[in-house]
Structure 1
Amino acid sequence: MSRTGNAVRSPVLRVSGAGRTERGARVLSAARRTADSVTVLRTGPTGISEYDPLVLATDAGRTAFFPTAETSRVRDLVTAMEDGELPTDGAAAVVDHDAERTTLPVPTDGPLAVGTRRVLGPCGWLDPLDPTAYQFHSLDRDASAVADAGLVGRGRCDAAADDPVADAWRRARETDGDPVVVVNANDADDRQRADRTLLAGSPMSVLDGVAAVAEYLGTTEAVIHVAETDTELQAHLREAIDAAADELPVVPVVVTGPDEYRAGEPTAALEAIEGVDRTEPRLQPPTPAEYGLYGRPTVIHTPRTFARVRLALADPEGTDRDAASTTRLLTVTGDVAAPATIEVGSDARLSTARNAVELEGSFKMACVGGVFGGLTRTLDVESTAAELTAAGLGTEGVVELLNDERCAVATAGERARFASEANSGRCVPGREGTVQLTELLRAVYRGSFDRAKIRELGRVMSRSSNCLLGAHAPRPVLTAMDEFESSFEAHADGRCPSGTCSDKL
């Protein structure tokens, strides 16, 4: 590949998201077979799956965007570029930009224009397996400034979710024993795509964030935990780690765990990494920072938290070291033509997410926060953890848009049933409470809607469960009751207002 310093020499044709579909692989192969002087670069996904494979034709600071390109089209694009032309006919967008930029140039409209792309910036633009593109040597990895900035963990797989990461870092550094860093990337909930998008599109950002935290802790040991069934991601990460081994002071080890929802809980992930027969959350305290992997002080974050650390270190102006100005990754999914992962500012409202996807049908409600998020009729809520929590919604970074064919009672019931099947059984609220919650919802279909009993059970579970599954399992039910109580009453009378269910449990 031809380069000038850290920049790819123009003209260059990028193929984004080629690994997601067979067509993407064919497009990439066709481009490489056709190219002679044109550089063909395979990049990771942009987060907008509707566009995959996305072909970006760039020359001299100008880029033309061609979503869902076919092999015949990409051959024509390469041929035109070989002849010294930048093809723009039929492009979804054409963007002028700095020829040396290291983040995706953003069109003025369309899904890629939704929100802002800071953590997602390299995704779809840089070669995810080329460490030189990330300019590691120019980065000061002193994480002390980040620790003082108030950055918080992101996602249910993060041991510091919605809490300042500095608390866990300092506790781990002060605890006796050799510390270790864990990247928890094993989330079996298909609704959540943010971490997978980052690992596929910008693994070097995650690895650099890991290195910064490891140096802060004074350790050279790190582990990346991924699902045992995701062999493509495993191979991709190992290739990225090998490529960056000479650039980074920490070389993580990839370890696989069961592809189960409960294995994503941070302490359950530690059990999985240790290879125990039964994966279940540990009792806390002590926290992982005090007693983590093999009893060692452990910092365990999601990929998006580590990528956020890297961005903060790389920001010379200090903007991304300010917790109040950080962004949030949101995966927009549900009844949509294709899911999308976007990035929004702290002052953005969730309604922004609707601009990134095409909703199939009319909007009825959203479930915000993953499988155990809160149901809401409105997305007029800011994306901060405080605002989401105050609205009874989840903070995991998922906005599931549901259309008018959905039944609120059935939606809540299906999630309660999932909780009864997926919990570890370690504590009574998780083991028995989820079963009782499911039975109370089944009773609604049989004509008995006991509001008070459901709310009291939810209160007990949320306060006394050992893990977040048991604590959050009542949330879809309670928020559905708040927003759609008349639908529960109708079901108790033997009628589904949406006309889509009889007995869904």
Structure 2
Amino acid sequence: MDLQFLDAKASFEERAAVDALPEGAARDQLLPALHAVNDRVGWISQGALNYICEKLHVPPADAYGVASFYSLFSLTERPERVVHVCTDLACRVNGADTVCDTLTEHVGPAGKARGGVTWLRSPCLGVCEKAPAALAFEAGDPPGTELLAPATGADVVLAARRSPSAEDGAAPVLHQTDRESLRLLRRVGAVDPESLDDYRATGGYAALRNALELGPNGVIREVTDAGLMGRGGAAFPTGRKWEGAARQPALPHYLVCNADESEPGTFKDRVLLEGDPFALVEAMTIAGFATGATLGFLYLRGEYPRARRLVQNAIDVARERGFLGVDIMGHTGFSFDIEIRRGAGAYICGEETAIFNSIEGFRGEPRSKPPFPTEQGLFGKPTVVNNVETLVNVPLILTAGYAAYREIGTEKSAGPKLFCLSGNVRKPGVYEVPFGTTLRELLALAGGVPEGRELRAVLLGGAAGGFVRPDELDLPLTMEDARAAGTTLGSGVVLALDDQADLGGFLLRIASFFRDESCGQCVPCRIGTVRQEEAVSRIVGGRKLSTDADDLALLREVGQVMRDSSICGLGQTAWNAIESAVERLGALSVEES
């Protein structure tokens, strides 16, 4: 390939970062290469981009398109120290604006370098139970990170003025003290997440042993009979997905674990990754065995430094002890390994085909379907994509048996479910309950709204979800009951808003989120999300076209077009929460604005 480069040279540090890539690295190492440079010097220069392209044989225009796609990268020079302040839904209702005001006063405006530091307004950092949150990053060898959650303005100003303290966050804390009622979360906070011996002492790897005895078809049958559905929002039957990939003759097969939970208000997968990383490694190994995959990719949020460290440790230790690699657990012929691929700040990469493009070194844009991933997925080969929560249900099924698993929850929604409670509740956090628990019961576990406040609404399913009124709290939390009520459980977000919440501003943030996160590939989403934000902004700011009815009519029309004609779920669901607020809560009316 005749590659044409601009006249720019990489620095010694940039070359050293890129040279650390594996020998023979190809285009699929583009994202790791960009991370390597960004981690080392804090931004990606034209010289660094040239050097990456030379090493990976990637056209410079392609590499620029990829580098500019992700929010964690910068193609313009900036200080080595950057502070990301979350201004998304949960942080917004818990004082993020005050943190930003303090930074503006003492450090300077967002995005402006001063004194060797800059700070940026960030989408959700995935620590909503400790909102408001900030993540400090300092480039170097090695780079440093510091998570501040909950954060005050003074805390973040101090963090901006010093090198990160190397604190990647505290261990997850559960508010459910009755361990006997927990299945997915039973080890979180109770065992050392860095110890394989602790994991095995609490039943770890019994499920993989059972899987090897059952054989691939037997494992798929157990998962199918258990009624396990995907926990990422789509609720597709897991066993059917596994079977679809396993029967494909094309080789190799791949497994992708989607750990890029970027839905605002979602943090359950982070708690599992940090609190029980060996469970995910075991679950991915079982999934690889069942579907005939020899390699699995864990696509992990770039904003999760603690999870990355703990899961990498679990992978390394499992490989050393014979639970990953060749002839796993002495089972001749069964080989499987896991590679972590770090995301870089793109909500759209939670879409299963956008993950493929990102891993392969392209912009994280969704692909048209069919063909479906089980037929042609990663690198054009049969691929299974599951999220973290879905996978960690598998060891439970293979140790307790499908019949016992089906006794949890309801007939159509079997098993336990994790919910992320945040916003205006007394005890925000991850809660595990059986499907069928009511929303009222779940809110009671979190202590309800603060004393002296009244509940105004609950957002179910995140920015792509819908609102529930206070008079609808007896809603059973199942897939089928949520659909019947005109809402969705989505990724498990339960974000409570009390009577002091700024609902108009909250909806404007949702509209801004979708505008920012649209990949821009298809016109309905690229234009629709902008028009949606403009209309919400006019209503909230009192700058209507002429009447509320005109703007609401425009919102409905734009929302319907996005829903009907967008390529992927981002555009198809971008109108959901705002439509729900308009129809169910009477929001964006004259009184609201």
Q: Normalising by structure 2, what TM-score?
A: 0.61
Cα distance change on mapping 1:48 and 1:424 into 2, 3 Å: closer
* Partner SS, residue 355 of structure 2: helix
Q: Is the 8 A contact 1:172 1:298 kept in 2?
A: yes
1:268 aligns with 2:339: no
Letter in 1 for 2:581: A
Q: How does 1:4-403 map to 2 (within 5 A)?
A: 111-113=176-178, 116-131=181-196, 132-133=200-201, 134-137=203-206, 139-141=209-211, 142=214, 143-144=219-220, 145-156=222-233, 161-175=234-248, 176-189=250-263, 191-245=265-319, 246-248=322-324, 249=328, 250-276=336-362, 278-316=363-401, 318-321=403-406, 324-358=413-447, 359-360=449-450, 361-378=453-470, 379-394=473-488, 395-403=490-498
Corresponding residue number in structure 1 for 2:18: none
Which segments of 5 or more consecutive residues in structure 1 lack a partner in the other structure?
Answer: 1-46, 51-105, 497-505
Corresponding residue number in structure 2 for 1:449: 548
Q: Is the 8 A contact 1:185 1:226 kept in 2?
A: yes
Q: How does 1:460-475 map to 2 (within 5 A)?
A: 460-475=561-576
Corresponding residue number in structure 1 for 2:56: none
Q: Is the 8 A contact 1:115 1:345 kept in 2?
A: no
Stretch deviating more after TM superposition (463-472 or 336-345): 336-345
Which segments of 5 or more consecutive residues in structure 2 lack a partner in the other structure?
Answer: 1-127, 132-173, 329-335
Q: CA deviation at 1:466?
A: 1.2
Q: CA deviation at 1:49?
A: 6.8
Q: Distance in 1 between matches of 2:302 and 2:421?
A: 25
**Which of 508, 511, 519 does residue 424 from structure 1 map onto?**
519
Q: Distance in 1 between matches of 2:463 and 2:588?
A: 20
Q: Distance in 2 between matches of 1:187 and 1:436?
A: 26
Q: What's the % identity of the aligned pairs?
A: 29
Q: Distance in 2 between matches of 1:406 and 1:212?
A: 45
Q: Distance in 2 between matches of 1:325 and 1:230?
A: 30
Cα distance change on mapping 1:272 and 1:316 into 2, 3 Å: same
Q: Normalising by structure 1, what TM-score?
A: 0.71
* Partner SS, residue 162 of structure 1: coil
Q: Is the 8 A contact 2:512 2:533 kept in 1?
A: yes
Q: CA deviation at 1:474?
A: 0.5
RMSD: 2.6
Q: Distance in 2 between matches of 1:195 and 1:412?
A: 25
* Partner SS, residue 462 of structure 2: coil
Cα distance change on mapping 1:430 and 1:220 into 2, 3 Å: same
Q: CA deviation at 1:113?
A: 4.7
Q: CA deviation at 1:180?
A: 0.8
Q: Distance in 1 between matches of 2:289 and 2:267?
A: 28
Q: Is the 8 A contact 1:224 1:253 kept in 2?
A: yes
* Partner SS, residue 225 of structure 1: strand
Q: Is the 8 A contact 1:223 1:252 kept in 2?
A: yes
Q: Number of residues paired by the alignment?
A: 384
Deviations 1:298-347 (A, max 9, x none): 10111110001111111147321566431211000012355210111112
Q: CA deviation at 1:220?
A: 2.1
Q: Is the 8 A contact 1:146 1:321 kept in 2?
A: no
Q: CA deviation at 1:283?
A: 1.4
Q: Distance in 1 between matches of 2:206 and 2:306?
A: 29
Q: Distance in 2 between matches of 1:115 and 1:324?
A: 21
Q: Distance in 1 between matches of 2:265 and 2:179?
A: 19
* Partner SS, residue 379 of structure 2: helix
Deviations 1:397-452 (A, max 9, x none): 01001111123333222211211111111112211111122222234232432344
Q: Distance in 2 between matches of 1:203 and 1:391?
A: 35
Q: Is the 8 A contact 1:48 1:112 kept in 2?
A: no
Letter in 2 for 1:255: R
